[in-house]
Amino acid sequence: MGKKRIIQKTEKELLEEKEKIETAVKKEQKVSSPKKIQTGMVYISASYNNTIMTLTDIKGNVLIWTSAGNIGFKGTKKATPFAASKVAETMVYRAKKIGIEKAEILVKGIGSGRDSAIKSLANKGLEITSIQDITPIPHNGCKPCKKRRV
């Protein structure tokens, strides 16, 4: 191992580097603090095991997400309507912090928390503009098994 050599910069070089960093930080602040978002899209994924809610802006960029497991429910209690309503409450609370007042709702899945999540979103003060069901539906069924050879 040789000696460690420390490169010393002059004051002029240090000032130039500092200016570069400051301009980069200013640009980042302008980009990261856009206008307040007032409308969003809430995706509710209600499965047999859990209820997951995601809040996005109109373009589809995720702003907030939460789930029954994230709140603290464990096991089969995650799939209950009560857990789904608690998930919706936390979603509305966080959305109000950001400044979202209106939302489109897209529901996916066949779990028991679908209806209670939508109801509690409406009851907690989030203005719902539309509700869509985007549950995937098979339109031709599965491929049949191969023919039996005897």
Each residue's pLDDT tens digit, 96-133: 999 999 999 999 999 999 999 999 999 999 999 999 99
pLDDT computed for residue 15 by the predictor: 82
Which tokens is 94 given?
A: 């966080």
Quote the CA–CA distance of 108 and 133 in Å, as a whole number: 6
pLDDT computed for residue 36 by the predictor: 72
Q: What percent of the chain has pLDDT over 90?
A: 67
Q: Does domain 59-133 have CATH number 1.10.357.10?
A: no
Confirm if 17 and 24 have CB atoms less than 8 A apart: no
Nearest to 83 by CA among 49, 106, 127: 49
Which tokens is 8 given?
A: 């010393």
Distance of CA 80 to CAs 68, 76, 112, Å?
9, 7, 6
Residue 142 has pLDDT above 50, yes or no: yes
pLDDT computed for residue 33 by the predictor: 47
